[in-house]
Structure 1
Amino acid sequence: MEITFDVAVLLFFVALLAGIVDAIAGGGGLITIPALLAAGLPPGAAIATNKIGGIAGSAAATLHFLRMRQIDLKRSRRMMLATFLGALAGGIALTRIDGGVLRQVIPFLLIGFALYFLLSPRVGAEDRAQRLTPALYAATLAPLIGFYDGFFGPGTGTFLAISCVTLLGFNLVKATAHAKLLNLCSNLASVLFFAASGHIVWAFGLPMLAGQWIGGTIGARLAVTRGHQLIRVLMVIMAVIVSVKMLLE
């Protein structure tokens, strides 16, 4: 499928904006997938192609968080593998299972999370006692959220960040950093699966890859410098937007 220069430039800037939002609070797919649909891609190809930009944005954000020492790779290795395998299983299941139940349940979960953060302004302000060890998180939540991302996707970054705050005891900046690391693993699994199955339209995906790489870097910088207040506000906003969009659909 061919792409004109004007459309490529538009997709680049759309992806740049999505990368900034996604690195801070998740939900960048709400910006990029409609743009791909408007550019003429069918829904399946749009979702698959969107993962190209997603992997660039999450990789750029992860690299910045690593440089800022917000990620503990040693403690995260099991969680990374579990998320990757979960997303791979989710991508395979996508071709065989109806996602209708998820579409009905997820909006209410996200609204609940948004209210929790809105009504608890000190949540994520600083580290606190963990409720799960990284090993137990890797055995339970990580593969489930990875599966969700590979199978459906909206709100994955929010789920990861919230679970890192509430279960692993991270502050919001550190939780966002680890969410991008795990999201990178789930995006990688999805890209490998969709590329092998031939669903990705590379002519559309490559301009978005460049845009989300830059946007992911900018968003990660803002998350580190502006702290948990910026993340909390954007996380609430994006959780509500994702929920409303899914309920309307």
Structure 2
Amino acid sequence: MEVTLDLVAIFFFVALLAGFIDAIGGGGGLIILPALLLAGLSPAQALATNKFQAIFGKISSVGYFAKQGFLDISSLKVPLLFSFLSAGFGAFLVQRIPSSILGQFLPFMILAAMVYILLSPRLADFDTQSRISMGVYSFTFGALISFYDGFFGPASGSFFVISFVALLGFSTAKAVAHAKLLLLVTNLAAVLMFMTGGEILWTLGGAMAAGQWIGAKYGSKLVHHKGSKVVKPALIAVCSIMLGKLVYANLF
């Protein structure tokens, strides 16, 4: 397809909005992917270009949270490795088998996440007691969510945040910070796989990357200063939209 200057400008602002929302509670892909498909990209081009531009939003968020002291990257070597390998494997498989297979289970996963958010008192602005170790998390829930992100993707950031809070006892801001770091790694692994197929639209992706960077920076600042006051409603909104979209698709 032809990438015009008007299209580049439009998607810069679309990515800016998506980056801001994604930095708060995840779900930026729910804005980007439909917009790319409406613009005429093939599903493979839309997925690949989305993963590429999303990397820059994650870099922006991770840089901000690292400066604020929310990340101890040296302690995350094991989860980062498992996340990279799992996401790469997911991106490898999605190019060979229908993603609808995983999509059949997704509504139940999202509904369970929504119930947890609504009923659990653990989504707070301070650390609580962890239920499993970081090592166990790395090759269980961390690996599964990373595989899902590489294979399918929507709401994976929300799943990371919820699992960090529920299982590792992280505060809201700390959970978002660590989610962005792991998502940076999973997106990178997926992009490396998609590059082999030549599906990324580099000019459009570059403009979107700039928008993502700016939006994620200000979204991260909001999470830092407001914590669960903005993250919890954002998570509920993302899960509700995703669940509604899946139910509508299955019915109609």
TM-score (norm 2): 0.95
Q: Contact 1:22 / 1:216 at 8 angstroms: preserved in 2? A: yes
Letter in 1 for 2:219: G
Offset of 1:116 from its aligned partner?
1.8
Deviations 1:48-100 (A, max 9, x none): 11011110111110110101111121221111111111000001111222222
Taking only aligned residues, the RMSD between alpha carbons, in angstroms, comes to 1.3
Task: Give the gaps of 5 or more residues in structure 1.
Answer: none
Percentage of matched positions with identical amino acids: 44
Match of 2:94 in 1: 94
Match of 2:2 in 1: 2
The CA distance in 1 between the partners of 2:87 and 2:123, in whole Å, is 28
Match of 1:125 in 2: 125
Deviations 1:11-67 (A, max 9, x none): 000000000111110010011111111211011110111011110111110110101
The CA distance in 2 between the partners of 1:183 and 1:132, in whole Å, is 21
Offset of 1:248 from its aligned partner?
1.6
Q: Contact 1:130 / 1:167 at 8 angstroms: preserved in 2? A: yes
Offset of 1:206 from its aligned partner?
1.0
Offset of 1:117 from its aligned partner?
1.2
Offset of 1:121 from its aligned partner?
4.9
Task: Give the gaps of 5 or more residues in structure 2.
Answer: none
The CA distance in 1 between the partners of 2:124 and 2:186, in whole Å, is 24
Secondary structure, in 3 states, of the residue corresponding to 2:104?
helix
The CA distance in 2 between the partners of 1:112 and 1:144, in whole Å, is 16
In the TM superposition, what are the counterparts of 1:93-172 in structure 2 within 5 Å? 93-172=93-172
Match of 2:34 in 1: 34
Deviations 1:83-130 (A, max 9, x none): 111000001111222222321211222122122212335523321111
The CA distance in 2 between the partners of 1:238 and 1:111, in whole Å, is 11
Match of 1:198 in 2: 198
Regions of 4+ moved over 6 Å: none
Letter in 1 for 2:228: H
